[in-house]
Each structure stands twice: as structure tokens, then as C-alpha cells.
Structure 1
């Protein structure tokens, strides 16, 4: 199997509306452990999010688009609360199955979840200081990706940050071994490997998104697409 080119046709099991609901719930719940290890939001929070929110010197609003089971938003909200930041955290996902898991989490005050999407939020006139996502980009078709990127900028009056996997043989091999103890009773092995095959390399994502997006590699096997918001433009 070649990873030289992105596989934009392969579908993940959890994206099937008819997939096994218990396997999906287990997958979404275990993402908390997986994301703590591989997604690097702790580093992004310390180096990017905390300094940015602190510099606002006022209460802030943060949106997590495609929040899934809500673990990333909850993790960031707990960190911000410990740091004394006043933030309203809103996680949205169009899949009610994901929101079912998200709303069962023990979230700090100021964190909430809604079953909606970026287009609907724009129609409502919503705006945020920071819009972010985790592991959303590789799920999208090329047209969906450009629309998602544009809508996320139009929702933000400050920053936009989209984090994702970077495709590569080393990432694929390491994940195959590392995921073994977490995989039983879930989609984690199959979908994780499919996610890597669907994901972009840094230069590919930069080419697709274009200016003013800046695509960084904050650490191995990860990409972070960053752009200024358009809500106040």
C-alpha cells in the first residue's frame, strides 16, 4: 500500500450513519485518551491559545467545530479555568450521536455543546474570538474543505486553528502498533489507519488552502493550519 498520495475516496466506519452505535460510543469515549497522547493540544494551549486569550484582557468566546465527543473542548476548558481565564466554550457537531457522548462529559462552567454546523452559526450571526477543530479536515472532500475553511474564518474575529494528522509511513507504522491495547470493541484501529491515509501532508494542505492560511508542523505527524478571522472585516 502506498501513502504517496492522499486517499480521498476511502471512508471511515464511524462516518457511516448506520454504523454500530455501541462501537461508535466506545470510539468517541476513547478519543479522550488518544487525543491526549497524539493531538498535542496541551502544547498548542500553552504556546498559542493561553497567551492569545490572556492578551485579550476580557472574557472570550471559543468555538470547536466538529467537536465529536467533546474531549478536546473539555480539556482546553479545564486548563483555561485553572489559569483563571474567563472563556465561553462552545462545541458543535452536526452528528447527534457525537453530541450524545459530548453532553455526558463532566465539563466546567462555561462549556456547552450544540448539534449544529458552521453554516448554521453564520446564519445566526454568531462570532467568536477563536475557532478551532481537531481531526476534521481529513474527513472532508476538497470542496467541503474549502467551504469549512472559509466559514471558520467568517465565524472568527480573531484566530482560526485547525489541527490534523499528517500522512506518512512512520505515522502509519507507529499507530498500527500503539493503538493495539485501545482498539478492542471500537473503530480505533480501522478508522485511525484510514484517517492517516485520508490526511494531508503539510505542503499539500498549504497548497489546497492557499493564502492567508499558514500550515505548520508543531511536532511530528501533525499539521496545524492557522489563519486570521474575517468576522470583523
Structure 2
């Protein structure tokens, strides 16, 4: 097992390489949905936070930052509509490859797919009731993280919330992911970056204390199982 005492900030995920194999990249996007269904815990967040807000708002505007293959954006739109809520979901990613692939998948109709940055949306005066991300924070430099958090607040409407979900670095998380994915390496996860990049992601991720320190005032970190961190803040009902 690698040393997990500190973040492996110099480690790079294979799928982030602009020259990454297109076939493997697309297989990686396609495997996000089943993997995230097991490890990312968004069902609980949806029931506790997102659905109640949607019922109060009537129309819920959601921004998924770093949407990747788009599985979370599609799932949120599907669940909100099934619960009788009007959903306006925007999926944002800086990687044109991800947006191009995600926008053509089944269930993508009705989601707005944008290859852009949060700064672009701030500049355009956009506003959302929920700003969220999944497995994005550990990819960012310190300055990129700070900019994302600032933009997240600027993009959130009064009464809205921000939830950035990521992995909690630790020996247990690393060992569990390594063990769970090994039997699937030659089948479900074959010819994808899921296993290699997942292990790198854990090495690059924060502990709860590190993330709280990096985020600063106005943000709180929730520890969830299995090995999850939720970085969140709520926007006041009225703001200057």
C-alpha cells in the first residue's frame, strides 16, 4: 500500500491526459454510473437535501460541475421528474471529450451540456438553486479549489446550497477500493481507467481536516460512509 500520510498532489489520473486513448476513455465514462451508484452516496444526499429543496422551490435549477460522463446529471433529472418536480439541470465540464460523449447518451435529453468553466457562468450572470460536484475536488490545485468555491457561492441563488462530494483519503478507502475492483478488472472495468485512476484519486484526495482547512470559513465538512466527504454551504434566503 502506498504512503497515504499526505496528498499525492503530483500523481496524475490517466483519463486527464489529453492524449488518453479514446476507446478507454469512453469505456471509463460508461462505467461511472454503476461505480458511483455504489460508492458516491448521492441517493442519501438527494433524499435529505435536494428533493426537499425542490419541493419548496417548485422549479429546481441544478449545476453539476465537472460532470464527466454525466451520470449524476442524468440521474438527478430523472429522480426529480419522477418525484413530480420541475428540473433544470446543467452539466458543466472543461473537457470537450466528456461533454461530447455525455450529451449523446440515453437519458441526456433535457440536460443542458456545457463545455465551459464556473467562471464563464459567473461572468454570464447565471444562478442555480443547487451547485454540486462529484469526485472533482481532488483533481484541483489549491488555487483552482479556491476559485471553484468562490464561484460556487456566486452561482448559488438565495436559499440554495452547494454540495461538493469527494473521497476521504485513508488506508481503509484504498484497501476497500483495491479489493472490490480487482475481481472486476478483467470484466466490467476492463479497458477502462476506473481501477488505476480510482486508486490515484484516493491518493490525491483530502482528509476531513485537510479539506476543512483548505476551504476556510463558511464551509463545513461532513464525513459519510463509505469514505466520503461532503463539503457544503447554504446560501441565505436574502443576500446583498
- Normalising by structure 1, report the TM-score: 0.95
**Farther-moved stretch of structure 1 (148-157 vs 107-116):** 107-116
**Farther-moved stretch of structure 1 (181-190 vs 31-40):** 181-190
Match of 1:138 in 2: 138
SS of residue matched to 1:216: strand
The structure 1 segments of at least 4 consecutive aligned residues displaced by more than 3 Å after TM superposition are: 229-233
* Matched residue count: 232
**Correspondence 1:49-64 to 2 at 5 A:** 49-56=50-57, 58-64=58-64
| Alpha-carbon contact 2:134-2:164 (below 8 Å) kept | yes
Rate the CA distance shift 1:186–1:108 in 2: closer, same or farther, 3 A.
closer
Match of 1:38 in 2: 39
Task: Measure, in 2, the Cα distance between the counterparts of 1:232 and 1:122.
Answer: 16
Task: Measure, in 2, the Cα distance between the counterparts of 1:232 and 1:65.
Answer: 23
**Aligned CA-pair RMSD:** 1.5
| Alpha-carbon contact 2:102-2:108 (below 8 Å) kept | no
Task: Measure, in 2, the Cα distance between the counterparts of 1:141 and 1:52.
Answer: 31
Structure 1: any 5+ residue segments left out of the alignment?
Answer: none
Task: Measure, in 2, the Cα distance between the counterparts of 1:123 and 1:107.
Answer: 29
Task: Measure, in 1, the Cα distance between the counterparts of 2:140 and 2:23.
Answer: 24
| 1:111 shift after superposition | 1.9
Task: Measure, in 1, the Cα distance between the counterparts of 2:92 and 2:174.
Answer: 29
| 1:116 shift after superposition | 1.0
Deviations 1:142-172 (A, max 9, x none): 1111111111111111111100011011110
| 1:110 shift after superposition | 3.6
Task: Measure, in 2, the Cα distance between the counterparts of 1:70 and 1:232.
Answer: 31
- Normalising by structure 2, report the TM-score: 0.93
Check if 1:211 corresponds to 2:214.
Answer: no
Match of 2:230 in 1: 224
| Alpha-carbon contact 2:94-2:117 (below 8 Å) kept | yes
Check if 1:166 corresponds to 2:168.
Answer: yes
SS of residue matched to 1:151: helix
Task: Measure, in 2, the Cα distance between the counterparts of 1:189 and 1:79.
Answer: 28
